[in-house]
């Protein structure tokens, strides 16, 4: 089955710096790659996602890149702010319906220091 | 819309007791999921229901049962709770099929088994 590895497990940056979190997956058939942000004591919330027919997607300060050949995808946060501090999870799935099950990485705790 | 709701928010059980976690969504989604979240482990899928009337095992189904009561509701039952089931449980839903793959999470249930 699918396996998702996420690195680093913790990341500390200064406000205004960029942060990059990387994930690798094992199943070449996976075609949907979301990123979730989870603040302490809250539910995971989708911040950006990408499908396998796209190499990069941006939404303001957040971008995700996908390299299908190498089976890895990354989250890029630019101009970090203290409110970006949270745990970030990547995930992979085979798409919708009964294939829609997400396999999550173990998370990255991002700390943004003012 | 309330989105995905879960009850209870907190629960303490003694070893061997049983309980049912309730989940409901009002987004007319077809697919529903139960995850558990343990420190350093990310989110792991327990059971899912791709559509009303179907349920299937995820990564960690042992010790749990589920019921898809109708399109809105998906419950998780612990028949004989064990300390290893101490965790935070999240329910999620998605449109399913070939529509949007985004999963929306409920607020979670924090369960402690002593």
Q: Tens digit of pLDDT for each residue in B91-114?
A: 999 987 666 788 999 999 999 999
* Residues A98, B50: C-beta atoms closer than 8 Å: yes
Within 8 A of B107 by CB-CB distance, chain A residues are 42-43
Mean pLDDT of B59-80: 96
* Residues A43, B95: C-beta atoms closer than 8 Å: no
Average pLDDT over chain A, rounded to whole? 93
Chain A residue with CA closest to B98: the answer is: A96
In B26-79, where do the E strands start and end?
Answer: 31-37, 43-49, 56-57, 64-68, 74-78
How far is Cα A15 from Cα A85, in angstroms, rounded to an integer?
Answer: 10
What percent of chain A shows pLDDT beyond 90? 80
Chain A residue with CA closest to B106: the answer is: A43
Which band of pLDDT confidence, cut at 50, 70 and 90, is reported for residue A95? low
How far is Cα B27 from Cα B51, in angstroms, rounded to an integer?
Answer: 14
Mean pLDDT of A65-78: 96
DSSP 8-state symbol, B69:
-
How far is Cα A36 from Cα B80, in angstroms, rounded to an integer?
Answer: 32
Question: Please, which residues have CB within 8 angstroms of residue B64's CB and are 6 or more apart in sequence?
Answer: B34, B46, B47, B76, B77, B78
- Closest-CA distance of chain A to residue B15, Å: 25
How far is Cα B8 from Cα B15, in angstroms, rounded to an integer?
Answer: 18
Question: pLDDT at residue A74 above 80?
Answer: yes
Question: Please, which residues have CB within 8 angstroms of residue B31's CB and are 6 or more apart in sequence?
Answer: A96, A97, A100, B48, B49, B50, B51, B93, B94, B95, B96
Chain A residue with CA closest to B40: the answer is: A106
* Residues B103, A46: C-beta atoms closer than 8 Å: yes
Q: Check residue B67 and give its pLDDT.
A: 97
């Amino acid at each position: 089955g699918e396996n998702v590895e996420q690195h680093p497990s913790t990341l500390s940056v200064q406000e205004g710096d960029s942060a990059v979190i990387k994930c690798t997956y094992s199943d070449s058939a996976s075609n949907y790659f979301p990123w979730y942000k989870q603040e302490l004591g809250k539910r995971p919330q989708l911040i950006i996602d990408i499908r396998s027919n796209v190499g990069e997607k941006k939404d303001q300060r957040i971008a995700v890149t996908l390299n299908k050949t190498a089976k890895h995808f990354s989250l890029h946060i630019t101009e970090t702010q203290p409110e970006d501090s949270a745990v970030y999870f990547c995930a992979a799935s085979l798409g919708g319906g009964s294939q829609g099950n997400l396999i999550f990485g173990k998370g990255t705790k991002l700390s943004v220091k003012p | 819309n309330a989105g995905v709701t879960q009850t209870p928010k907190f629960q303490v059980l003694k070893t061997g007791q049983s309980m049912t976690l309730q989940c409901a969504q009002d987004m007319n989604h077809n697919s529903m999921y139960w995850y558990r979240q343990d420190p350093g482990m990310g989110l792991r899928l327990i059971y899912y229901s791709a559509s009303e009337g179907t349920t299937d095992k995820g990564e960690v189904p042992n010790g749990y049962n589920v019921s898809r009561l109708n399109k809105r509701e998906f419950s998780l039952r612990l028949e004989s709770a064990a300390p290893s089931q101490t965790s935070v449980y999240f329910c999620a839903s998605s449109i399913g099929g070939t529509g949007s793959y985004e999963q929306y999470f409920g607020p979670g249930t924090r369960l402690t088994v002593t």
